[in-house]
Chain A
Amino acid sequence: MSYEPKLVGFLCNWCSYTGADLAGTSRIQYPPNIRIIRVMCSARIDPSFILQSLGKGADGVLICGCHPGDCHYSEGNYKAMRRYPLLKRLLDAYGIEHERVRLEWVSASEGQRFADVVADMTERLRALGPCRVKTALATDQIER
């Protein structure tokens, strides 16, 4: 069976989701591999959302927020910025390629940039291959 990467995107409402919307209304083509979840701010993306996405079958997770300085709640994206390096360290320690999770700043006017990021990440996930976590957790309960 051919492998199509499953990408979950958490997008902040004010910049990045609007940017993705612009990509749509401008009819910019980008891979259909992304499933977008709209949140109010990139700070709302609890690290457990990302772990849960990977644990439930996502091959990658994209986090998008307003550019630094532009967050609708002024400081929210800095919180996302500070969590990200630690999250990458956590994934490495779990033996999961940290490239599966990516943080990008996308403004409301950057429809093209959003499309490019999704296309690029989809290709990288294709090269990385499927994330095995979900199957591993489902099949190895009480591995003796």
Chain B
Amino acid sequence: MAAKKLQIALYWGAACGGCDVAVLDTNEFILTVGEAADIRLWPIAADGKYQDIEAMADGELDLSLFNGAVRNSENEHIAKLLRRKSKLLVAFGSCAHLGGIPGLANLTSKEDIFATAYLGNASIEPGNRTVPHPKTQVNGHSLEIPAFYRRVYRLSDVVDVDYFVPGCPPEPSQIKNVLLAVVKGELPPKKSVVGASERTLCDDCARRKTEKKVKRFYRPWEIIQDPERCLLEQGIVCMGPATRSGCGVRCPNSNQGCRGCYGPAPGVVDHGAKFLSAISSIIDSKDPKEIDAILGTLPDFIGIAYRFGLPASILQRRHGA
């Protein structure tokens, strides 16, 4: 037992697994982490039981990377457990940081989600009423599954979080930087966003920017784009002006608009509201009717504006009945 080895845990809440894969994408580096650290829990890649974590002393873990949103009672239980057992708890990736793609479920209700998934889907036998319940009795035994919450939460909604690593998923090179900073003890003040930049994506984007004036918006497949020119100027939706940089401008470099996964740029209170300002200002019209028509070419605006962070927005979720 090398007492000096870093004790770490990685966990996934409501997540797709991409964040864990991004950690594996650090390639050989993850092996050196394995030498410098004991990975005590990592459901996707290593053995390790919840009971082992429960048996630890408080603060025994040096670092926990929590990816995924908090969607059910298991996610919350592990979030609280890891918080207790860890010196540093990091919200890792868009879902833990801002709610992520699962956070869009806050535009609908638990009942509607269940009805779609378990009752209304075309592949479900008509009349089938099987919906999961937290507790079931089978042959005199009581079986339990995690309870599905009414909403999706960010990690910081349920526990105190020390650092935030944005990205869907975080860039492998940024993950390395964060892990090295932990090892060397060179972390910035707590509550900071780490593994990202303090600029906007546009600041780092190499595309040529001139005047932005558009008469309509295009889905990426509707237009042959100029690979050198700003995407917004070509009417292709790009979240760059409102979004924090740090990803290496990967999407615009691959001819796709930024989708905003690194979250709001520093100083921005509401990612979607800032994007709303940016996108409205490029519309080339002074006529309310024409403006309406141009905006009509922009589908599912709330889904674009808060693709990775609805639970982190000012209004957080759908209101009303």
Contacts and interface: CB of A to CB of B under 8 A. Distances in A.
Interface stretch (B178-186, B229-237, B313-321): B313-321
B147 A144 contact: yes
A143 B151 contact: yes
Contacts of A83: 276-277, 280-281
A32 interface: no
A78 B288 CA distance: 9
Given A46-B273, A89-B301, A136 B151 contact: no
A101 to B, nearest CB: 12
Contacts of B280: 79, 82-83, 86
A117 interface: no
Interface stretch (A2-10, A17-25, A92-100): A92-100
B253 interface: no
A140 B305 CA distance: 23
A52 B292 contact: no
> Chain B contact residues (Cβ within 8 angstroms of A): what range?
35 or more
B315 A51 contact: yes
Main secondary structure of the interface of A (DSSP, over half): helix
Interface string A41-58: 000001110111011000
Contact of B314 (A51, A68, A78): A51
Contacts, number: 97
Contacts of A68: 286
Contacts of A140: 151
B302 interface: yes
A96 B316 CA distance: 12
B276 A142 contact: no
Interface string A122-144: 00000000001100110011111
Interface of B: 73, 107, 147, 149-151, 153, 157-158, 269-270, 272-274, 276-277, 279-281, 283, 285-286, 288, 291-292, 295, 298, 301-302, 305, 313-321
User: Which 8 A-B pairs have CB atoms at the shortest separation, nearest pair first?
Assistant: A93-B302, A95-B320, A48-B273, A82-B280, A47-B273, A83-B280, A48-B270, A51-B314
Given A85-B288, A86-B279, A94-B302, 14 more contacts: A47-B270, A54-B315, A55-B315, A79-B280, A82-B280, A85-B291, A90-B301, A93-B107, A95-B318, A96-B315, A132-B320, A133-B319, A137-B315, A143-B149
15 contacts: A46-B273, A47-B270, A47-B273, A47-B277, A48-B270, A52-B270, A81-B291, A82-B285, A83-B280, A90-B272, A90-B302, A94-B319, A140-B151, A142-B158, A144-B147
